Amino acid sequence: MLRYKKGNPVQIGEALGAYVREKVDLISGFNVVKGFLNLKISDSYYLKFFKEIYNQKEFGKVNPSAGDSSVMVEYSSPNTNKPLHLGHIRNNLLGYSVSEILKASGKKVYKTQIINDRGIHICKSMLAWKRYGNGETPESTGLKGDKLVGNYYVKFDQEYKKEIEVFINQGKSADEAKAEAPIFLEAQEMLRKWEGGDEETVALWKKMNSWVYDGFDITYKNLGVDFDQLYYESDTYLLGKKVIEEGLKKGVFYRRDDGSVWCDLTDEGLDEKIVLRSDGTAVYMTQDIGTAIERVTDFPDIGGMVYTVGNEQDYHFQVLFLILKKLEFDWAKNLFHLSYGMVDLPSGKMKSREGTVVDADDLMIEMADTAKSISEELGKLEDFTDAEKDTLYKTIGLGALKYFILKVDPRKRILFDPENSVDFQGNTGPFIQYTYARIQSILRKANFDYSTDLEISKLNLHERERELIKQIQLLPETIQQAANNYSPAVIANYTFELVKEFNSFYQNVSILGEDNPDIKQFRVQLSQKVGEIIKTAFSLLGINVPERM
RNA sequence: GGCCACGUGGCGCAACUGAAUAGCGCAUCUGAUUACGGCUCAGAAGGUUGCAGGUUUGAAUCCUGCCGUGGUCACCA
């Protein structure tokens, strides 16, 4: 503004402030600090706002309008040869939460995953089971299906390493040994049989995969995530070849002398990328191109897609999106790689084959156990049944874990220390859950009908009340911001601020002890609303809130 | 080495996409409760935002170069 009106910023501010206070009802005061004009908004404005939203159950959320395009969010997408671990948990929490946030921001969302149910890694588990399994099943061992299969994946690797060692001792190079180990050759042979439709191999594949799916179902259920549509790589791995042919005609791709097909992205500052092998078979990229197109065919209203995949695949998605743009699909401009950093342990990276992973199921159990020991120490649950306690511990434990992971910007790496586990105090899920439970306690004790219409425009607001209402006002834009940035962390931080503000209010003013009935009712209503918002916001993070804890 | 992301008090994170004295939580130190649930609140201490330049009235934020960490550069997925 000073560019247009020269002069002393402080004087201009004074003049402007005085004018606005005079002419605008909403403004009840002002001050000028270092050239910044601060306007004080009148209490009646805040009260009016609160009254308007008091009865809006879904305040802050936007409903999709008819005719809007929808978004497909892909997440999880595990391999079916081993159980889910901490890395998958971050992926699942992010994907689920971003889906919910997008919905709340007014988008229609399809949640999906593509299950990597075929390939050499699957054959490794199958082969090891065939050789060493003695017909073991989840029923016979009492093991979760994914755990059982995972054990054989590890078993394969152990045997493989033994064979490699023998070869190396016989004087072969490491590469030769890896390529010639009999167990590896046999796994490759198994993959060929599978691709050829060999009955016995396919039957074994189906059997072992179904064990894994049963196991995954349990993990997903405990984690609280779900999907609207599943894709299986065994159905999609041949997709995309036709599009490559069309792309060749359009000149998007070119064929080399050996028959392989490439996309030249050097103009874009990237490399050349192979999209079809010289033997005509599909690569990962081919498949992803085909799958994307397949999805839009299945759901014609899709206008964009979100891929929740670790940042190790940044380059892959950069290339994928560029190729789809070159193929001129109109939805290609609305593709987003929800790229997230790895979850590291103090000991370094997690490696399935080396057993240095934090298992998803185990972790959830540990979190609930921690919640249990903390709650028992505080001992406020005497009248809870065992089943109620059990549910509560899960709610708190999962709340701690989910919040811990989601409050961090997805791009950043997370260091997870299983020893020190996750905090329950400060900026944590349980802190927020506790505040919610406390509010519910107030509402239970409020022995009057506080929901009646209240003429509150004449009340004078306490500073803490004003700040609380301000924070409530931010909810709608916060949801939009979280959606625009695909960032659950925005929601988490907002909720924490709200809760801190509420606790300060709670500690500084009396609610049920207030004499003036109007003020008392207003404070109960305000508390109730804060409770509702905590619940809504946490639902966007996939976190439940307890009525008591 | 090329490309990408990240680097903020001891530790873990923010900063509404360029604004006021860079916020918050752990941990540390002081206080508050015969209570509407102390898993709480009030306060103190703790910073040259990796380094060096630049753009701007104004930079943690944008640009350039360096340093550090991680990722990625397969006819694997």
Nearest alpha-carbon partner for A488 in A221, A222, A100: A100
Taken in order A9, A10, A14, A15, is the CA torsion positive or negative?
negative
Q: How far, in Å, is the CA of A373 from the C1' of nucleotide B40?
A: 20
- Cα→Cα distances A385→A178, A381, A545, Å: 57, 9, 18
Following DSSP, what letter does each residue of A262-274 receive, concatenated? EEE-GGGTS-EEE
Q: What is the pLDDT of residues A268-279, one digit of tens each?
A: 888 899 999 999
User: 3-state DSSP call for residue A70?
Assistant: strand
Nearest alpha-carbon partner for A311 in A64, A85, A67, A94: A94
Query: What residue has its CA nearest to the C1' of B27?
Result: A426
Contact present, A243 and A328 (Cβ < 8 Å): no
Residues 345-384 (A) near nucleic chain B, CB < 7 A: 349, 374-375, 378, 380
Q: What is the pLDDT of residues A209-222, one digit of tens each?
A: 999 999 999 999 99
Q: What is the pLDDT of residues A458-507, one digit of tens each?
A: 788 888 898 899 999 999 999 999 999 999 999 999 999 999 999 999 99
DSSP letter assigned to residue A453:
-
Average pLDDT, chain A: 89
Following DSSP, what letter does each residue of A479-545 receive, concatenated? HHHHHHTT-HHHHHHHHHHHHHHHHHHHHHS-STT-SSHHHHHHHHHHHHHHHHHHHHHHHHHT---
Bigger pLDDT: A257 vs A40: A257
Please tell me the least confidently modeled range out of A38-52, A145-159, A281-295, A306-320: A38-52
Q: Which nucleotides of B are covered by protein (CB under 7 A)?
A: 3-6, 12-17, 19-21, 24-27, 35-42, 70-77
Q: Is the pLDDT of residue A247 over 80?
A: yes
The answer to whether A431 CB sits below 7 Å from nucleic acid chain B is yes
The answer to whether A340 CB sits below 7 Å from nucleic acid chain B is no
Summarize the confidence of residues A417-434 as an average pLDDT.
Answer: 84
Q: Do the strands A335-340 and A302-310 form a parallel or antiparallel pair, or are they unpaired? A: parallel
d(CA A17, CA A27): 9
Residues 101-120 (A) near nucleic chain B, CB < 7 A: 116, 119-120
Nearest alpha-carbon partner for A511 in A456, A457, A452, A438: A438
d(CA A193, CA A195): 5
Q: How far from chain centre, in Å, is Cα A235?
A: 26
Q: Is the pLDDT of residue A33 over 60?
A: no
Residues 395-414 (A) near nucleic chain B, CB < 7 A: 396, 407-409, 411-414
Q: Report pTM.
A: 0.93
Nearest alpha-carbon partner for A247 in A336, A338, A332, A337: A332
The H-assigned helical ranges of A251-356 are 284-298, 314-326
Maximal C-alpha separation, chain A = 95
Reported residue count of chain A is: 549
